[in-house]
Amino acid sequence: MTATFKNAWGYQGDAMNLPVADIDASIPFYTDIMGFEVVSRDDAEPRSVVLGRSEIEMALVENGGDPEQDGCAFQVDNVEAVFDEFRSNGLANLSACELEKRDDGSTWKVFFVVAPDGLCFWLGERLPT
């Protein structure tokens, strides 16, 4: 079963401006491991690529920012399916799924991925109350 990505929130407030050093080196991780597709690409400075999956998009940009200080949170409809998909696509260093309680009283099942370019991703499924 393929999971649906329902929402994306950039850690620094902008999922459409995620910093990377090299677009060309970054793209294969997102397409081959995380299941994104290239939606559009702009080779004018600063170079950027828009990646999409299900109902969401994010953009990687060679904007000089520090990728280790940024990333995205993705709400998915089936976190276990995403975890299994990433593992079957060759991602070896996955954190285990864990429960996360939020200030609003919600509980999420989550895991984290750090991409080779340094961006960090939180993937979570909101559990029924």
Which ranges constitute the DSSP H helices of the chain?
23-28, 79-88
Domain chopping of the chain, boundaries: 5-126
Q: For domain 5-126, give the CATH number.
A: 3.10.180.10
End-to-end CA gap in the chain: 24
In the structure encoding, which two tokens stand for residue 30, read together?
A: 């997102």
3-57 confidence digits (pLDDT tens): 999 999 999 999 999 999 999 999 999 999 999 999 999 999 999 999 999 999 9
Q: Identify the DSSP state of 46.
A: S
Mean of pLDDT values over 76-91: 96
